[in-house]
């Protein structure tokens, strides 16, 4: 085994016998488009379908191939290396590997894009963690798993799960022996899983399928409720299995985002939330990784926002927990790096924002469910509304694509549209120096 291979050893990750803590970023909205991160409404599939309808399938494929191949380059990795980053989480959509009409045959298309970035990871000695961000039917009800229904149907059909077991076996065969692929993150943020037996059987099948072809790589297991609840997850005996949680404390405690809250009160809430999550290390006696944490960033609030992120990362460091920030690059939302304001992609996103704002999506979904119930039925409880608002939002997204995306595509000439991916070239971007300094502080690269 290569001396660069990361392995699980007790409650630590180790390389060649030495402890290692992953510190880095996720590469969000790259191989799985996320509406708020690119400024276009809809899911990955909806957005690509709209491009195909407006420009034709061949031009749409050309556009997204260019986007995928030009999103990251050497200069991005030079920045990452200068920050002391040693890990990059690579989220990808299953559709790059699986044709829904021929699911037993694994396509090779996805390897082109993963290999492109992984080769740069190897050159700059940054570990890649492969993250299956979407699965057939959806592992959770939200847009970022590319759902068309707002239901986590993946957990209802064994045929869908077996397709993903086969996919992971093929991915593991492709990357076996590659030390710069540190781990396989089996499925991003499961949620609304109700059958523990199904949940555990799926993980067991995936682990066994991977181990038939790849005895070495770490396998990360995620919990329920967007990987914040591990009560259903049984321990897995495989010695190279570890566990990963996501840390967004403001989801349950939104008041922490108020600058008016005292720093002491905020720190107490952040700590309580973090300790509940990190307790899975004691449960499983394995190392843990905070696979996602982060915050929307803007010029008006950047000092408070960076301080908030520093507090979250500080908890990871204090408790010897690996972390990857969400995210490295996007259209000036959560990313460290983003295209400059005068870049074509930013300009188009700014136009679209005049008629569509994803931050209102959840509230609108809830309001529409309440309106439907109160107008045609009877008022419903908050608990009943929660899963229904996801289904309502899929309808809203379909409408937004038709009314708030396609009209902008239709008035944008193809030649101009084909220039948009270049907006993400490093030389056309800027980054938050305030956040960069915090990263350097925790990687040991600070002054």
Local confidence pLDDT in tens for the 447 residues of the chain: 788 999 999 999 999 999 999 999 999 999 999 999 999 999 999 999 999 999 999 999 999 999 999 999 999 999 999 999 999 999 999 999 999 999 999 999 999 999 999 999 999 999 999 999 999 999 999 999 999 999 999 999 999 999 999 999 999 999 999 999 999 999 999 999 999 999 999 999 999 999 999 999 999 999 999 999 999 999 999 999 999 999 999 999 999 999 999 999 999 999 999 999 999 999 999 999 999 999 999 999 999 999 999 999 999 999 999 999 999 999 999 999 999 999 999 999 999 999 998 888 889 999 999 999 999 999 999 999 999 999 999 999 999 999 999 999 999 999 999 999 999 999 999 999 999 999 999 999 876
- Distance between CA atoms of residues 20 and 421, nearest Å: 35
- Distance between CA atoms of residues 424 and 297, nearest Å: 18
pLDDT at 362: 85
Q: What is the DSSP letter of 405?
A: I
- Distance between CA atoms of residues 149 and 370, nearest Å: 19
Contacts of 242 (CB under 8 A, 6+ apart): 8, 13, 183, 218, 219, 220, 221, 286, 287, 288, 289
Contacts of 363 (CB under 8 A, 6+ apart): none
- Distance between CA atoms of residues 201 and 222, nearest Å: 14
- Distance between CA atoms of residues 283 and 279, nearest Å: 7
- What region, left, alpha or beta, does residue 253 occupy, with left being phi > 0 and alpha being psi -120 to 50 degrees? beta
Contacts of 289 (CB under 8 A, 6+ apart): 22, 220, 242, 243, 244, 245, 321, 322, 323, 324
Backbone angles phi, psi at 379, to 5 degrees: -55, 145
Q: Is the pTM of this model over 0.85?
A: yes
- Distance between CA atoms of residues 267 and 201, nearest Å: 38
Contact 251, 273 (CB under 8 A): no
- Distance between CA atoms of residues 187 and 134, nearest Å: 7
Contact 287, 8 (CB under 8 A): yes
Contact 229, 279 (CB under 8 A): no
- Distance between CA atoms of residues 206 and 432, nearest Å: 39
Other CB atoms within 10 Å distance of the CB of residue 403: 12
Q: What is the DSSP letter of 334?
A: S
Q: What is the DSSP letter of 155?
A: G
Q: Which residues lie across from 6 on neighbouring strands?
A: 15
pLDDT at 445: 87
For residue 6, the SS3 value is strand
Q: What does the block give as tokens for 81?
A: 């290396």
- Distance between CA atoms of residues 228 and 219, nearest Å: 18
pLDDT at 306: 97
pLDDT at 447: 60
Backbone angles phi, psi at 8, to 5 degrees: -85, 130
Q: Which domains does the chain have, with CATH numbers?
A: 6-438 (3.20.20.80)
- Distance between CA atoms of residues 108 and 393, nearest Å: 32
- Distance between CA atoms of residues 297 and 281, nearest Å: 30
Is the N-terminal amide bond of 433 cis, ω within 30° of 0? no
| Strand 218-222 to 241-246 pairing | parallel
Backbone angles phi, psi at 35, to 5 degrees: -55, -45
């Amino acid at each position: 085994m290569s001396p660069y291979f990361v392995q699980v050893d007790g409650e630590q990750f180790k390389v060649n016998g030495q402890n290692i803590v992953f510190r880095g970023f996720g590469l969000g909205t790259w191989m799985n488009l996320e509406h708020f991160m690119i400024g276009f409404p809809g899911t990955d599939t909806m957005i690509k379908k709209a491009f195909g309808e407006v420009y034709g399938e061949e031009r749409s494929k050309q556009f997204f191939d260019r986007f995928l191949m030009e999103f990251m380059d050497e200069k991005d990795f030079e920045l990452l290396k200068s920050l002391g980053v040693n890990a990059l989480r690579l989220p990808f959509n299953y559709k790059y590997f699986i044709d829904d009409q021929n699911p037993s045959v694994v396509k090779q298309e996805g390897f082109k894009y993963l290999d492109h970035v992984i080769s740069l990871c190897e050159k700059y000695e940054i570990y890649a963690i492969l993250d299956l961000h979407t699965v057939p039917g959806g592992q959770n009800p939200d847009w970022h798993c590319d759902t068309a229904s707002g239901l986590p149907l993946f957990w209802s059909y064994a045929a869908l799960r077996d397709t993903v077991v086969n996919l992971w076996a093929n991915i593991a065969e492709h990357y076996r022996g590659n030390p710069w692929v540190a781990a396989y993150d089996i499925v991003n943020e499961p949620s609304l899983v109700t059958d523990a037996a199904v949940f555990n059987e799926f993980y067991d099948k995936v682990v066994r399928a991977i181990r038939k072809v790849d005895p070495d790589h770490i396998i990360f297991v995620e919990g329920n409720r967007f990987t914040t609840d591990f009560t259903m997850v049984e321990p897995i005996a495989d010695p190279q299995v570890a566990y990963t949680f996501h840390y967004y404390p403001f989801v349950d405690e939104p008041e922490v985002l108020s600058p008016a809250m005292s720093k002491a009160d905020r720190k107490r809430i952040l700590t309580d939330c973090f300790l509940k999550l990190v307790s899975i290390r004691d449960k499983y006696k394995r190392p843990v990784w905070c696979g996602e944490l982060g915050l929307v960033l803007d010029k008006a609030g950047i000092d408070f926002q960076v301080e908030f992120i520093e507090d979250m990362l500080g908890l990871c460091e204090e408790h010897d927990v690996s972390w990857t920030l969400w995210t490295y690059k996007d259209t000036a939302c959560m990313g460290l790096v983003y295209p400059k304001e005068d870049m074509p992609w930013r300009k188009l996103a700014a136009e679209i924002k005049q008629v569509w704002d994803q931050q209102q999506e959840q509230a609108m979904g809830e309001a529409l469910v309440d309106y439907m119930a109160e107008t045609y039925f009877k008022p419903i409880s908050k608990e009943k509304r929660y899963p229904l608002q996801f289904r309502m939002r899929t309808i809203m997204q379909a409408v937004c694509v038709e009314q708030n995306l396609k009209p902008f595509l239709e008035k944008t000439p193809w030649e101009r549209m084909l220039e948009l991916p270049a907006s993400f070239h490093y030389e056309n971007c800027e980054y938050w120096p305030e956040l960069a300094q915090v990263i350097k502080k925790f990687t040991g690269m600070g002054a």
